[in-house]
Amino acid sequence: MKVKNFIRLDSTDFLDASEPLAFRFDVGRASLSGARTTPQGFLAIPATLTRAGVLEYTRADGTVVRELRPPEEVFKADSLASLKTAPVTEYHPPEQFVSPKNIQKVSVGVVPDIPTQKGELVDGEVIIQRADSIAKVNAKELVELSPGYSCSVENTPGVYNGQPYDRVQRNIKYNHVALLPANKGRSGNDVRLRFDDIFTPVEASNKQPKEIAMKKIKIRLDGVEYEIEVPEALAAHILASAEKLEQSRNDAQTALVERDGKLEELKGQIKVLTERLDAAEDPKAIEAKAQERAAVVEKATKFVAEARFDGLTVGEIKRQALAAKKVDTKNATDDFVNGAFTMLEEPKRLDSTVKPPSAKPNAETKNDAQDKTWRDSREEMIQRGLNAYKTFE
């Protein structure tokens, strides 16, 4: 469940927001032009109440933070509607908010209607109801307006109309509008009481616009390096963003190369498998394989007693035949097995009693070997050849 933040005043929820809230006083020269007296004797004054743009706020430690009031937030219907019936005060109340508990003590008037947009300004009307406050306004002791409101703040920096900012205000809800003396402006000379039909400040401010410090930086985008000039306050942020963007581009290119490599590898495997499948389905190839197996089975049967070769490959049949002749093929290659199996070809049968021609026996050569048949001698020679590879291991 999402917990919402409330500002609670005298058991009344003034604001419902789902973001952390901040309270702001935007002081500026709000306007009084064409002032009139109501039938009740109150002073009704057209007024520029606030504006969109970048405003500066001073933290408790003295540092300054710049916050953007975006037009889409300032002119949002529910935000403008919160100004209707907002109390008008002299200065901001010490409690910050105006509530039923302190309204009689701090209120000197009211904003009667929902204001409207005029460019980047919020134009409306204030009605001053207390006699002492009317006198101060007529004497131009109170000439500026400062709305007090709550908002949520996003820590998102940027540049608005050439002005850098550190944060953005959202969900603006107004509580009151304060009357202030001259030269208290934060919102600038456009936000003021209008005593005439010309938008000129009642009293010019001595505050000079702050010069924006610029810095040249180099960034790389899409492999191309650019040198640009940006506000110094945003340089680090822009560099980090550009670096992150370029890294994402490089990662995407690397992933694409790897994908293409794997695709080519798969294509090669598919080609090999296709060729094997075509060969396996070729009637001539099938017939040749069958003839080869039949020949190997026929030959191996001569060496393996009670031979059963069902379910064995040609290579396994050959190894079985070689094992029967005591040829170790455990670590032998297929090439060796094929060659050794070829050597197992039986010689023409000879009468085992016939002996090969030999020299006449004498005392030096006569031994048991003379009694061996020709077949036994040949078999011994073949066996030595088949096991000769073991001497190289």
User: Given this model, what pLDDT does residue 381 score?
Assistant: 63
Tokens linked to 167? 């944060």
Instruction: Determine contact, residues 34/46, Cβ cutoff 8 Å.
Output: yes
User: Given this model, what pLDDT does residue 373 score?
Assistant: 56
DSSP 97: S
Residues with pLDDT less than 50, the chain: 1-20, 29-30, 188-189, 192, 194-207, 347-356, 359, 363-366, 369-370, 392-393
Cα angle 357-358-359, degrees, rounded to a multiple of 5 = 140
Instruction: Determine contact, residues 218/227, Cβ cutoff 8 Å.
Output: yes
Tokens linked to 155? 């820590």
Instruction: Determine contact, residues 57/159, Cβ cutoff 8 Å.
Output: no
Beta-bridge mates of residue 153: 169
User: Given this model, what pLDDT does residue 94 score?
Assistant: 87
* CA dist 295 → 166, 289, 321, 376 (Å): 88, 10, 13, 26
For the segment 2-60, what is each residue's pLDDT rounded down to a tens digit?
333 333 332 233 334 344 466 676 655 445 557 889 999 999 999 989 999 999 887 77
Per DSSP, the residues of 215-237 read EEEEEEETTEEEEEEEEHHHHHH
User: Given this model, what pLDDT does residue 385 score?
Assistant: 62
Q: Please state the pTM of the whole predicted model.
A: 0.46
The interaxial angle of helices 374-386 and 334-343, nearest 10 deg, is 180
Q: In the chain, where does DSSP find H-type helix?
A: 71-74, 77-81, 103-106, 131-138, 232-281, 283-301, 314-324, 334-343, 374-386
